[in-house]
Amino acid sequence: MKNTSFTMGMGTFRLQGQVAYDSVKMALEEGYRHIDTAQIYGNEAEVGQAIADSDISRDELFITTKVWFEAFSEDKFIDSVKDSLTKLKTDYVDLLLIHWPSPKDEIDMAVYLNELKKSKEMGLAREIGISNFTIAQTKKAIEILGVDNIYTNQIEVHPYLQNIKLVDFCQANKITVTGYMPFAYGKVLVDDVLNSMAEKHQISPAQLVIQWLAQRAIVTIPSSTKRHNLVSNLKETGVRLSKDEMADIAELDCNDRQANPDFAPLWDTSR
C-alpha cells in the first residue's frame, strides 16, 4: 500500500545555503508536505533546519533523500544514511533512494540494494526505492529486493522526454514513478503547443505540465525559489486534459534528456 502523503512535492536540486532554506520554508508554509533532497545536493542541513523551524508535525511530512554512489560499500552505506538523518534533524526518512546505479557496476547492485534494505529494517527509512534505473536495472533490482520493496523509481520525465517504455514497465510492476525535472529547466514552459493549450484552459504552462504528469499517474517534484510559483504549482486547477490533448503532448517527445552525466547508465529509448 503506497503512502497517501506521497503526492506532488518540492524538489531541491541546485538549491544551496540560504536559498535552499528559504525555498523549503516557503513551500511548507504554502502547504507542501513532500520534500525531496539528496546527499549530493549538499543541502540536507538547510532542508532539515527549514523543516524543524516549520513546527509541522513529523507525521504530516514525507521526506525523501538519496544515497550517493560513493557511499555504496558495506562499510559506508549505513553511516551515510545516519549522517543524512542528523542533517535533516529526523530519526527516519519516509523514502530512501539509490540516487544512481553504481557507475560501470563498480559495486555489485546486490551489495548496495541489500544495504538499502538494511536501512529500512533498521528503521532509518520507512520506504526504499531507486532512481535513474533503466528497465534492465529495475528488473535486476526486483530480483534482488522483490518488487514490494521498491516504492518508486525516480526518473527524468517531461514533455520532451516522456520515458514511455520505462514508465510503462514500472507501472505494470506497481512501482510508482516519480518524475523529476518536469519543466526541463524551463524549456517546455515556452513551447508553443503547451502555451496554447494552457491559455485555452486558463492555467499556466507549468500547471498544464503538472496536470499531464498527474494524468499519467506520475508523482512530480518541481523546484522553485519563488513563492508565487510554489503556490501556482500546488494549486488544484480542476482541469482535465482530453485524449486529443494528451496525444498532442505525446507528439512533443524528442528524447531531449537534461540529466545525462558521464556516469549515467545506457538509457532506454523513450518509446
- Name the residues annotated as catalytic: 41
Mutual angle of helices 205-215 and 192-201, in 10-degree steps: 90
Binding residues, as ranges, are: 99
Residue with cell 494549486: 235
The DSSP symbol for 160 reads T
Q: Rounded CA gap, 63 and 48, in Å?
A: 10
Secondary structure E strands in 139-193: 152-156, 176-180
Residues annotated in a binding site for substrate = 99
Phi/psi of residue 59, each to 5°?
A: -75, -5
Contact 209, 215 (CB under 8 A): no
The 3-state DSSP class for residue 4 equals coil
